[in-house]
Structure 1
Amino acid sequence: MRPLRYTLPAVLLATAALAGETRDRPSVRSVRLVAPPNDTTHRVHVRGRIVTTLRFERPVDAGKTKLLGGEGRLEPLAVVRDKVVLEPLHDLDAQEAIPLVVTLVDGTEVSFLLRPPDPREGAPTDQQVDVFQDHESTTALHAALMDALRHNRSLLEESERCRAEEASEDHALAALLASGALAQTPFKVVDRIYGEDESTKITARVFQGKNKAAVVFDIKNLATDQSWSMRSARLTTLAEGHERAFAFRATAREISSGQSGVIALVVDGSAFVEQGALTSLWLEIYRDDGTRQAVVQLDPSLLAR
């Protein structure tokens, strides 16, 4: 077996979670405070080297706005009129939480808890959080409408994706490969590649099929204190870097410590065509913390005629 091309340094990317092929939209959401303000603590999802802005309806008192702990974990707080700007120096640990108290010039205190995004919840990194006290203001009502429209759009996209996958031959093949039912597919194994670091062991099987290719990743989580999940997979042409679609199935969204899981991807032959000629593809797997976990080159020779 030849070594899996394996990348250990953290590589942050803006692709959607799991097998989404679209880039992340800017993550803007709203927080509405009860009247009068109570002791509720609002969670904010932050990520290393990504700026998160909290925006309020009233100016912020910089002298009374502070982090409670987390020294050396974030750049110094920046307060600009009605905004608080946060930037962690590194990703927070999975169980880490840093309290933040923001005090407005009218004396109102608002408590936040800075946390890393949880892949199990599907929550993105917050790029901007708009905090409203006056629920009836034009700005607050507009934000509520935008939140509702975004939620509705997300539900429609998910529904359409599910309908398309139900009718997709490639998704059915990916499901069979993930479950281990290779005999029920037209694929044959043509290569096995592997890689390992301190937290993950991966074996990749590369398959040839009739005008299709496939890759199955067998993943074992070697970490003793955290689960493994895939943040995204990307398939691009080697020469131009154009993104290509693929079918995806996994045996589990999350692999517990010491356990194993399977990820299967099926690529149609049309994905190998660029400007009328066959080209190689670059398949990348990223885990939930943004680390590029594995890279596999797929060549047109995988397409059996």
Structure 2
Amino acid sequence: MWKHSSSRAVLFLCLVAAVASARGREGAHVRTLLLSQHPDDATHRLHVKGQVVTVLRFEQPCDPARTRLLGWEGRFEPVGVVGRWVLLQPLRDLAEDEAVPLLVTLADGTEVPFLLRPVMEGWPDQQVNVFKDRESHGAMASALREALEEKQVLAEQLERYRKEESSEDHALAALLASGAVKQTPFKVAYRLADRDAESDVEAIFYRGRGKAAVVLKVRHLHSEQAWSMKKVRLMTESTGMDRSVAFRSTDSSLAPGESGVVAIVADRSAFVEEGKLTNLVLEVYRHDGVRQAVIPLAHQLSGK
């Protein structure tokens, strides 16, 4: 339970349980797997996560009678085979040393072995398009679409980095993350603290001259998996319109037991909607796209 350090505090930080779900994600992670691309590696790895459905899509129908998981009891829902689709869903996260074999048999008798492994960093496989012939039209189209999507992501990252180089808000976030609060215009408004099975977090809310800031001091408690922040999203509370926000972190990734700091800065202009001040909501997404925290921000934090 979060404890308010000020009776005037109207903000609430809700850490979302670290269980991946289809909701709260930016979009499904889809990748292309060309079987002929790795002739010396007969067993292909799939990265799965508890309560997240992984779908395999093949070029031809699969044989349900000869498609099976080995040793899946208690760890997976029964495997589903519908035409060209194979559906998998772990009941829980696999341990770091766990691996579950999957054998998919196609209608022509081709056997395709997979090894299901836990997600240690990044995204779980939510849809994998599997092709036997890398020269086929479907394989080439799927690979081209994936390459174009990656190019778009890289272009957007490059443009973001270019803008951040000259951004005052990003400079302030970097100072806050490094602990140089005295070099910024911010004063502490209040603090909140919470702890769950995977993280121990202190949130420090700052009021500035025309700006608001939040510093999250995170201690990662998970015994196996690393943690990192993928992005933050700032939006208006009433209409959900996106607003600009700057953030910096001291570490790109936290190993189990490590601590780190994330600093987030928002300009007062972000709190203005149709000429009036409005409250905002800040969402924090971790490395695999799961929404980790929801932080309401009152416009009073931005000062005057």
TM-score norm. by structure 2 comes to: 0.85
- Larger mean CA deviation between 271-280 and 220-229 belongs to 220-229
1:70 counterpart letter in structure 2: W
Q: Deviations over 1:126-183 (max 9, x none)?
A: 2321111122211122122212212221221121111111121111111111011112
1:239 matched to 2:247? The reply is no
Q: Say which SS state the counterpart of residue 55 (structure 2) adopts.
A: strand
> Which of 59, 77, 82 is the aligned partner of 1:75?
77
Partner of 1:58: 60
> Which of 89, 95, 98 is the aligned partner of 1:96?
98
Checking the alignment, whether the CA contact within 8 Å between 1:8 and 1:197 is kept in structure 2 is no
Q: Say which SS state the counterpart of residue 159 (structure 1) adopts.
A: helix
Distance 1:182 1:101 in 2: 56
Checking the alignment, whether the CA contact within 8 Å between 1:10 and 1:290 is kept in structure 2 is no
Checking the alignment, whether the CA contact within 8 Å between 2:36 and 2:133 is kept in structure 1 is no
Structure 1 residue 233: Cα displacement: 3.3
Partner of 2:158: 159
Distance 1:178 1:199 in 2: 21
- The aligned runs of 1:184-203 (5 Å cut-off) are 184-203=183-202
- The aligned runs of 1:1-305 (5 Å cut-off) are 2=4, 5-7=13-15, 9-10=17-18, 12=21, 23-24=26-27, 26-34=28-36, 39-119=41-121, 122=122, 124-287=123-286, 293-305=292-304
Q: Say which SS state the counterpart of residue 34 (structure 1) adopts.
A: helix
**1:251 to 1:118, Cα distance in 2 relative to 1, 3 A:** same
1:77 counterpart letter in structure 2: V
RMSD: 2.7
1:271 counterpart letter in structure 2: A
Checking the alignment, whether the CA contact within 8 Å between 2:18 and 2:198 is kept in structure 1 is no
Checking the alignment, whether the CA contact within 8 Å between 1:37 and 1:108 is kept in structure 2 is no
Partner of 1:20: none
TM-score norm. by structure 1 comes to: 0.85
Q: 5+ residue gaps in structure 2?
A: 6-11
Checking the alignment, whether the CA contact within 8 Å between 2:18 and 2:292 is kept in structure 1 is no
Checking the alignment, whether the CA contact within 8 Å between 1:27 and 1:126 is kept in structure 2 is yes
Distance 2:17 2:265 in 1: 27
Checking the alignment, whether the CA contact within 8 Å between 2:246 and 2:265 is kept in structure 1 is yes
Checking the alignment, whether the CA contact within 8 Å between 1:101 and 1:111 is kept in structure 2 is yes
Structure 1 residue 61: Cα displacement: 1.9
Distance 2:298 2:37 in 1: 61
2:91 counterpart letter in structure 1: L
- Larger mean CA deviation between 178-187 and 191-200 belongs to 191-200
1:244 counterpart letter in structure 2: R
2:303 counterpart letter in structure 1: A
1:102 counterpart letter in structure 2: V
Structure 1 residue 30: Cα displacement: 1.0
1:217 counterpart letter in structure 2: L
2:55 counterpart letter in structure 1: T
Sequence identity percentage = 50
Q: Say which SS state the counterpart of residue 145 (structure 1) adopts.
A: helix
Checking the alignment, whether the CA contact within 8 Å between 1:216 and 1:262 is kept in structure 2 is yes
Q: Say which SS state the counterpart of residue 40 (structure 1) adopts.
A: coil
**1:32 to 1:287, Cα distance in 2 relative to 1, 3 A:** closer
**1:35 to 1:165, Cα distance in 2 relative to 1, 3 A:** closer
